[in-house]
Amino acid sequence: MQHDTDVPLGVRIDSSIAHFSRATLCWLGIAVLFMAGLARLAIIPFSVFEYSDGLHDVSTHEWFFLILTALLLWRYWIHCSYFSATVWTRLTRVFLFIGGFFFIEIAFYFTSVIGGLDANLSFDQALTNADANFWLEVFSWVGLCLVLYLASPSGVRQGQNNEDEIPVVHAEASATGSHSKEQF
């Protein structure tokens, strides 16, 4: 970080401390999101096999969402390969997205618990009610699939001259067999 020589030493020190603090908070936030994403993916087997009954424990909608999650993870990996993402980028991107959604899930769970407490349930009953809420489980699965879909990198590959070219075939041109390109 370069400073002008006419800036007082106290201002330069204060500016450096502020810059260091912002960078530290940014990295701390990224680390928390990454760890939350790891935790959310680690919770999936425990939520699917919650009664320790093996494959008999898995309901129809859980089978559907497990297969959809596997397909979306495969799609994510293919998109990352297409855009030449490194392995580290592939892992961090998906975990950051899932971690962000995990905090939204936690907020909905606590809202359900608070709603149970407002309905004059005891704290244990409110927790049990929130755990057994079918719609929270569906929200969790749909949200996870949506996050996996949105986490995939998207963009237009750039050509040799660093300009995005999208071929457009006009009705008149297609009749004669010639194609034209327009730049957007």
Q: What is the pLDDT of residue 83?
A: 87
In a domain, 97, yes or no: yes
In a domain, 181, yes or no: no
In a domain, 47, yes or no: yes
168's enclosing H/E stretch is strand 165-168
CA distances from 75 to 37, 105, 126 (A): 18, 23, 38
Q: What is the pLDDT of residue 182?
A: 47
In a domain, 184, yes or no: no
Domain that holds residue 85: 9-154
For residue 96 the two structure tokens come to: 């950051």
Residue ranges of the chain whose pLDDT lies below 70: 1-5, 156-184
Q: What is the pLDDT of residue 165?
A: 52
- State how far Cα 23 lies from the chain centre: 22
**How many independent structural domains does the chain possess?**
1
In a domain, 1, yes or no: no
166: helix, strand or coil: strand
In a domain, 38, yes or no: yes
Angstrom distance (rounded) from CA 81 to CA 68? 20
Q: What is the pLDDT of residue 58?
A: 78
Residue 85: partners with Cβ closer than 8 Å, 6 or more residues away:
93, 153
CA-wise closest residue to 78 among 150, 152, 143, 146: 152
Q: What is the pLDDT of residue 174?
A: 45
Q: What is the pLDDT of residue 173?
A: 47
Q: What is the pLDDT of residue 37?
A: 93
- State how far Cα 137 lies from the chain centre: 18
In a domain, 165, yes or no: no
Q: What is the pLDDT of residue 175?
A: 47
Provide, for the chain, the percentages of residues in helix, strand and coil under a 3-state DSSP scheme, each rounded to the nearest 5.
70, 5, 25
Q: What is the pLDDT of residue 100?
A: 93
Q: What is the pLDDT of residue 2?
A: 58
Statement: the pTM of the whole predicted model exceeds 0.85? no
Q: What is the pLDDT of residue 132?
A: 80
